[in-house]
Amino acid sequence: MNRVLPLLLPLMIAVAGCTTIRETEPGQTARHQLLLSNAADDVSARIAPNLPAGTRIYVDTTNFGSEGEYRSQYLISAIKAALLRQGYGLTRDIGNADTILDVSNGALSIDRTEKLFGIPSADIPIPLAGDATTPEVALWKSKRRTGIAKVLLSFYDAETGTLQSGGMPLYGYSHYDRSSILFYGRTDTDLEDTPTKARKTR
114 or 121, greater pLDDT: 114
Give me the domain span that covers residue 33.
4-201
User: Is residue 123 scored above 90 in pLDDT?
Assistant: no
What string of DSSP letters covers the chain?
-TTHHHHHHHHHHHHHHT------SSSS-HHHHHHHHHHHHHHHTT------TT-EEEEE-TTT--TT-HHHHHHHHHHHHHHHHTT-EE-S-GGG-SEEEEEEEEEEEEEEEEEEEEE---EEEETTTEEEEPPPEEEEEEEEEEEEEEEEEEEEETTT--EEEEEEEEEEEEEEEEEEETTEEEEEE-TTS-TTSPPEE-
Q: Which residue has the higher pLDDT, 4 or 88?
A: 88
Is 145:110 a contact under the CB 8 Å cutoff? yes
Give the pTM. Answer: 0.74
Q: For residue 134, what pLDDT band results from cuts at 50, 70 and 90?
A: confident
Least confident of 65-69, 106-110, 118-122, 161-165: 65-69
Which of residues 23 and 28 earns the better pLDDT score?
28
The better pLDDT of the pair 129, 188 is held by 188
Is pLDDT at 84 greater than 90 in this prediction?
yes
**pLDDT at res. 7:** 47
Q: How many domains does the chain have?
A: 1
